[in-house]
Structure 1
Amino acid sequence: MTGTPLRSKLPLHAPLALVLLIAAAGMVRVLTQHWREGAVLLGGAMIVAAVLRAVLPTDRVGLLAIRSRPIDVLCYGGFGVVMSIVAVQITASLLNGGS
């Protein structure tokens, strides 16, 4: 009896569903007046999308594949990191008295 590889067991839209679940959690935080935490979660969703796009084969990544793999990873990762850093910096700036 041979084991079935993970990629054949993984539903086609599971990577996108994971990213959308994290993004939905971020939007809930934004809508409940915690926009900094929500922005970090949204940035995290983009970073997760970049990692999934980098490690999964093109036929299993589903709708996360928009352009070529390097461009997708660069855009998802870049936007995610920038969004998370900006949200954390705004928080740090406000806690330090705005200086």
Structure 2
Amino acid sequence: MTVQTRPSQAAEGRSRRWRRPAIVHLPFGLVAAFAVAGLVRIVQYHWRQGAVLLGVALVVAAALRLVLSDERAGLIVIRSRPVDALLYSGLGAAVLFIALTITGGPFG
């Protein structure tokens, strides 16, 4: 007697395989969305707001890197978890500090 798999089980397995890559890229997509929004604001001559959004993108990347496993973090994984989190958060804090403290300049 052979065991037959139901077509729904096979279809479910295929759909899970196709959903997994999309889910893995969600953290990167979130970080990229903040970065693109920041770049749009910079192009519109609102450089402080754009720089803040870029800093937020880096801080979000650090938080996601700390919370998610290597497999689920997807494209935001560069090195080990502590190194990634330290570098993302450090650079994000520096960008935020500079964007929030500089006054004046050609873009006023």
TM-score range, shorter chain: 0.7 to 0.9
* Letter matched to residue 89 of structure 2: G
Q: Which runs of 4+ in 1 moved over 2 A?
A: none
Q: Percent identity?
A: 50
Q: Distance in 1 between matches of 2:50 and 2:77?
A: 24
Higher helix share: 2
Per-residue deviation, 1:25: 0.3
Q: Distance in 1 between matches of 2:39 and 2:77?
A: 23
* Letter matched to residue 74 of structure 2: G
Q: Distance in 2 between matches of 1:29 and 1:84?
A: 15
2:25 is matched with 13
Per-residue deviation, 1:87: 0.6
Per-residue deviation, 1:39: 0.3
The partner residue of 1:27 within 19, 36, 39 is 39
**Unmatched segments (≥5 aa) in structure 1:** 1-7, 95-99
Tell me the TM-score normalized by structure 1.
0.81
The partner residue of 1:89 within 84, 90, 101 is 101
Per-residue deviation, 1:51: 0.1
The alignment of Structure 1 onto Structure 2 pairs a total of residues equal to 84
Tell me the TM-score normalized by structure 2.
0.75
**Unmatched segments (≥5 aa) in structure 2:** 1-19
1:64 is matched with 76
The partner residue of 2:66 within 54, 58, 61 is 54
